[in-house]
A and B are shown apart, each in its own frame.
Chain A
Amino acid sequence: MPGQSGSATMNELAEPLLQVKGLSKSFAKRYLVHQSKFSLQNISLELYDGEVVGILGESGSGKSTLANIITRLTPFGEGQIFYRGKEIRSHSASERFEYKSEVQIVFQDPYGSLNPRSTIRNSIKEGLRLHQPQLSRPEMDERVDGLLSSVGLASENSNKYPHEFSGGQRQRIAIARAIAVQPTLLICDEPLSSLDVSIQAQIIELFASLIEEFRLTMLFISHDINVVRLLCDRVYVMSDGRIVEFGKTSEILNNPGNDYTIKLIDSVY
């Protein structure tokens, strides 16, 4: 495979935080829908501690399916996923619970990912109650206030409901909720694409500061080459359910080896 630079040196340093090996997933064939568009074929990727890794691909390439599989929202067929060296399908109930707290996700659509009947304070606290029950109530509230200020929202907003916020604010809340339980791995599935241009820039700046502040390990899924270029250390390029190229972001984007990547880069304004 082309573009393996970078990973060799890291291999010597440590074992990957997350390793996906030969992952495949196919959906039942639907009427008039081309099957291969909706499946993953032989996906392998590695994610090391403290890295921000991009997954770049067009719609239908399987990026979101991959995110859902890693977060265990969708079951998968063949292949293995190792988290800290342990296969996630062999997790015991308690290990699985812990995995779900350590791996958090921010979805594309900030309108659909918050519970409309719960104040945002409660939405953020829900994860804390579940995964860090040792915290007292005032501690939790303090934590929520701190999280809200990390994502640039005033704490007096915390007793409002999601519909009272704009799209960009909701995405900030979704990010606050995801980082509330201090995850080791944050998966962002197209977190910018439903936002306005000026708000996208705000969220990019927010991610940059959070990466610095919390030393997040992040899997950043996007179709936007320029955003991946800004945020990610390494990138995997996906097309039609396969990984066609991977390596250091600067090398792949400045010097793509794969036809699909070249086409993708050429089409960006």
Chain B
Amino acid sequence: MPNSPSPTGNAERNAILKLEGVCVALAASRKTMVRNISFSVRPGEIFGLAGESGSGKTLLMRTIFGLHDDAFVEKGRMTFKNTEFSSSEHRRRVRKLLGREIGFVPQDPFSSLNPTMRIGRQIREALYLGKGISPKSAEAGKTTLELLKEVGISEPATAVGQYPDQFSGGMRQRIVIAIALSQEPSILVADEPTTALDAYTQRRIINLIIERSRNRNLAVILISHNLELLRKNVDRIAVMYGGQLFNILASDEIGSSASHPYTEALFKCIPRKDMNLADIQSIPGEPLSAGYGAAGCAFSSRCGLRRDICDTSEIPVNASLEQEFDACLVRAGRRP
């Protein structure tokens, strides 16, 4: 279990978000889905969370930020801006910060705006709820226009009078981002924000998030299944599989000795510009879902490096919140 600071404690003390040994379980079955997740995010850092569907990345994020009704933090500790959240009161307390200190951009821009309310009113409502600015005041009107302009809506004055269905998916996602930014959060959590969008729109939305983050010193957690997208955009990437945290590495280190065998294998699956058909190497077998209960590494049955130790020992956990981390049992054995 995680405990007191380690030699690398410096970066860790500055962290805006710390997860230490967090386990997430389902409310109905009390089954542990995500185990022993430990990492920290620095202020202003763009942090990627990668994994295939079922890896538990979305479950983890939605649960620790109080968005999941059917799951709870079973064990472990979250620290957000020096406030500690113990597992018992976690959800109730974190909900108070959600939408204020913590901005959330969901995957589907088509269902995250109120279809019967004009855009302007939705943003003014957020400003009122978060900052107490009266919706009818001139200040609310002015801030709304500024926010829309900031996220690249070309005619904010017209946009405020329109309904969500009059916008394309990309424009709607911009509006959702504007609402998230209206609270001046210190961390923005974007859960596959571009999966429902076209490649061109995807790139523009990701660029928008990155640019806003750099300008406002806003920490971002970008959740994506696309390792290539993360590699090109974020500072550090955490890779999850079967509810376990496998790897944390700087985004330019994919393919180097810092990458876990799964990170490497996943990266070889993605067709990229410079690849031939022969370069594509699929991973045999099926991805495992979160909630892997047995001892050992969840990836062992698909892994080329598998040894006996992979099925018998528990995988390492990032207890000391290192900036970089590799949970491979085989490689750990080889290291000095």
Given A204-B271, A204-B282, A205-B282, also A197-B227 (CB < 8 A): yes
User: What are 6 A-B pairs at a CB distance below 8 A?
Assistant: A32-B165, A201-B280, A226-B275, A230-B271, A264-B200, A269-B229
In the complex, identify which listed stretch (B72-80, B208-216, B262-270) lies at the interface while the others stay far away.
B262-270
Contacts known (A198-B283, A208-B277); A269 close to B226, Cβ less than 8 A: yes
Which positions 220-269 of chain A face chain B at CB distance < 8 Å? 223-227, 229-231, 263-264, 266-269
Classify chain B: how many residues form its interface, as a range: 35 or more
Chain A residues 178-206 with CB under 8 Å of chain B are 196-202, 204-205
In whole angstroms, how far apart are the Cα atoms of A145 and B266 in the complex? 31
| Contact present for A227 and B200 (CB under 8 Å) | no
Q: How far apart are the CA atoms of A224 and B53 in the complex, in Å?
A: 19
A201 touches B283 (CB 8 A): yes
Return chain A residues, CB-CB under 8 Å to B277: 204, 208, 230-231
Q: Is A162 an interface residue (CB 8 A)?
A: no
A225–B203 alpha-carbon span in the complex (Å): 14
B276 and A230: CB pair below 8 A? yes
Which chain A positions have C-beta within 8 A of B284?
A: 202
Q: Using a Cβ cutoff of 8 Å, how many contacts connect chains A and B? A: 85
State whether A197 touches B269 (Cβ < 8 A): yes
When A201-B280, A230-B276, A230-B280 are in contact, do A196 and B271 touch as well, CB less than 8 Å? no
Is the beta-carbon distance between B203 and A200 smaller than 8 angstroms?
Answer: no
Bound complex: CA of A202 vs CA of B265, how far in Å?
A: 12
Which residues of B sit under 8 angstroms from A266, Cβ to Cβ? 203
How does the 8 Å CB contact mask read for B154-196 relative to A, with 1 for contact and 0 for none? 0000000000011000000000000000000000000000000
Contact with B along A136-180 (1 / 0, CB 8 A): 000000000000000000000000000000101100000000000
Q: Which residue of A lies closest to B55 (CB)?
A: A196
What B residues does A204 contact at CB under 8 A?
Answer: 271, 277, 280, 282
B223 to chain A, nearest CB (A): 14
**B81 → A minimal CB distance (Å):** 32
Number of chain A residues whose Cβ lies closer than 8 Å to a Cβ of chain B? 30
> Given B53, B265, B281, which contacts A196 in the complex, CB threshold below 8 Å?
B53
Is the C-beta of A58 less than 8 angstroms from some C-beta in chain B? yes
- On chain B, the residues within 8 Å of A115 by CB distance are none
| A198, A208, A231, A266: residue with the most chain B Cβ atoms closer than 10 Å | A198
When distances are taken between beta carbons in the complex, the residues of chain B under 8 Å from A268 are: 199, 273
Enumerate chain A residues within 8 angstroms of B166, measured Cβ to Cβ.
Answer: 32
Closest to A227 in B: B271
**Is B43 positioned at the interface, with any CB of A under 8 Å from its CB?**
no
Q: A-side binding surface: helix, strand, loop or mixed?
A: helix
Q: By the criterion CB–CB under 8 Å, are A197 and B286 in contact?
A: no
Q: Is A113 an interface residue (CB 8 A)?
A: no
Q: A58-B198, A264-B200 are in contact. Are A201 and B229 (CB under 8 A)?
A: no
Partner of A198, one of B203, B265, B276: B265
Nearest-CB distance from B36 to chain A (Å)? 23
Task: Tell me if B200 and A269 are in contact (CB < 8 A).
Answer: no
Whole-angstrom CA separation of A200 from B281 in the bound complex: 10
Q: Which residue on chain B has the smallest CB distance to residue A61?
A: B198
Q: Which residues on the A side are within 8 Å of B286 (C-beta)?
A: 166, 168-169, 199
Q: Residues of A at under 8 Å CB distance from B?
A: 32, 58-59, 166, 168-169, 196-202, 204-205, 208, 223-227, 229-231, 263-264, 266-269
A267-B271 in contact given A198-B266, A201-B282, A231-B277 (Cβ < 8 Å): no
A252 to chain B, nearest CB (A): 14
* CB of B287 within 8 Å of the partner chain: yes
- Which of B198, B231, B287 lies in contact with A59, CB distance below 8 A? B198
Which A residues are CB-close (under 8 A) to B125?
none
When the two chains form their complex, are residues B283 and A58 in contact, meaning their CB atoms are under 8 A apart? no
Q: Do A267 and B266 have beta carbons less than 8 Å apart?
A: no
Q: 3 smallest A-B Cβ distances: which pairs? A: A201-B282, A201-B269, A226-B271
CB pair A226 B272 closer than 8 Å: yes
> Is B225 in the interface zone, CB < 8 Å from A?
yes
Q: How far is the CA of A264 from the CA of B198 in the complex (A)?
A: 9
B269:A267 contact, CB within 8 angstroms: no
Q: Which residue of A lies closest to B262 (CB)?
A: A198
CB distance from A33 to the nearest CB of B (A): 9
Cβ-closest chain B residue relative to A192: B271
- Find chain A residues with CB under 8 A from B322 CB: none
Flag whether B150 is at the interface (Cβ < 8 A): no
Tell me the minimal C-beta distance from A258 to chain B in angstroms: 14
| A226 and B286 alpha carbons, distance in the complex (Å) | 23
In the complex, residue of chain A having the shortest beta-carbon distance to the beta carbon of B203 = A267
- CB nearest neighbor in A for B229: A269
A196 near B52 with CB under 8 A, answer yes
- Whole-angstrom CA separation of A199 from B52 in the bound complex: 10
From B53, B229, B286, name the one whose CB has the most chain A CB atoms within 10 angstroms: B286
CB of B334 within 8 Å of the partner chain: no
Give chain B interface residues in 242-274, CB to chain A under 8 Å.
265-266, 268-273
- Docked pose: A202 CA to B281 CA in angstroms: 8
CA distance A198 to B53 in the complex (A): 10
